Amino acid sequence: MLAFVMTPNADIQVIINPASAAWKTQSRIPAIAGALERRFPHRCAFTVTREPGDAAGVAARAVRSAASLIVAVGGDGTVNEIVHGVIEAAREGFPACPLGLISSGSGCGLALSLRLPPALDEQVRAIAECSPRQVDAGVVSFGEPGRSGERDRYFINECQIGIGADVVTRTRGGRKSAGGLIGYGLGTLSALFLSPNIDVRLSIDGGEESSVSVLGIAIGNGDVTAGGMSLTPGAEPDDGALNLLTIGALSRFSRLRSFPKIYAGTHVGARGFSYRAIQTCMVSGSRPLPVSADGEVIGTLPCTITILKRAIEFRAPHRPLITAAGERDARHAEARI
């Protein structure tokens, strides 16, 4: 890691991922640092990450050092790493540390789910003036219970199996540079044609396991995913529940017909979709299918997904600033600084 500004007695740790938004964040660092310094003069320590995993380590050390606030600068993957660091440090017994977000990623799903305003100065103002919002997280446990290979990964906005994880893979690299709305839209269209239907075994809230054929499964803590898609409409990050969307084994024609509905959130009433609030679910398959969380592939089936209530504090609006799907899509195009 490279700390490029260190202020004596700084109590705010700012963690910047320069590679987010297809490296566009790197050129925004002076503007971001200036906006934060104007609002929090002489209180910020800035760290620029160099590789995956850096952000989690910096966040954990900030919590252990009694930082008053951590500010994440990047996209969903950056926030995911920071959440890991904060939760792990909190589990060691250190006091909770609230998070703020300067949204500078390709997908911006979490920023949209939290209803953050789009402009840099407005986001800094939200960090300074919003009271902490207690937000839930999801925990993905991989491996069979009780076996030595089991490990946990957290997510703050969404987790996907099947077509959603396929979209994450297809959107890497060049498509991200086109921006979230276009890049993820192209990745989704490609996956609609090429992703196979898959056979999985699913158990919800401790119920009986059932075998189902699906195109994909999405577990939402927030209601908007990368690219502005409202896969789990109505999901709130602080309502004490996760929302489970099961997409049936659709034909290619049905997939294309449903595609526009995903942005409006009206797909849940269509044939082939099942939607409900849950606390936990277990998913397994005949082969190790990939699992994605917050825009990154994190492991493979089998897994258990559970809610971790009031896991972390965000300095974010408590009331929605975006309600209509059309407004959400329009503001998504401006969500990056």
What CATH number corresponds to the domain at position 6?
3.40.50.10330
> Can you give the residue range of the structural domain that contains 83?
2-130+316-332
Q: Is the pLDDT of residue 3 over 50?
A: no
176-185 tens-digit pLDDT: 555 555 766 7
- 6 found inside a domain: yes
Shared domain check, 152 and 48: no
Q: Is the pLDDT of residue 330 over 50?
A: no
- 7 found inside a domain: yes
pLDDT for position 74: 96
- 155 found inside a domain: yes
Residue 25 has a CB neighbour count (10 Å cut-off) of 24
Question: Would you call 89 helix, strand, or coil by DSSP?
Answer: helix
- 195 found inside a domain: yes
Q: Which of 263, 270, 277, 223 is nearest to 247 (CA)?
A: 270
Shared domain check, 281 and 196: yes
CA atoms of 94 and 60, how far apart (whole Å): 10
- 337 found inside a domain: no
CATH code (residue 286): 2.60.200.40
Q: What's the whole-model pTM score?
A: 0.88
297-321 tens-digit pLDDT: 999 999 999 999 999 999 999 854 3
Shared domain check, 275 and 145: yes
144-153 tens-digit pLDDT: 545 556 789 9
Give percent of the chain above pLDDT 90.
Answer: 73
Spell out the residues 6+ positions from residue 134 whose beta carbon is closer than 8 angstroms to its own.
238, 310, 312, 313
Q: How confident is the model at residue 161 (pLDDT cuts 50, 70, 90)?
A: very high
Q: What is the mean pLDDT of the chain?
A: 88
Q: Is the pLDDT of residue 4 over 70?
A: no
Shared domain check, 287 and 274: yes
Q: Is the pLDDT of residue 8 over 80?
A: no
Average pLDDT, stretch 5-30? 88
Shared domain check, 193 and 115: no
pLDDT for position 44: 98
Number of domains in the chain: 2
- 284 found inside a domain: yes
Assign residue 206 a region (left: φ > 0; alpha: ψ between -120 and 50; beta: otherwise). Answer: left
- 304 found inside a domain: yes
CA atoms of 216 and 163, how far apart (whole Å): 5
Shared domain check, 72 and 97: yes
Average pLDDT, stretch 107-131? 94
Shared domain check, 92 and 216: no
CA atoms of 104 and 179, how far apart (whole Å): 11
Shared domain check, 36 and 143: no
- 123 found inside a domain: yes
Q: Is the pLDDT of residue 329 over 60?
A: no
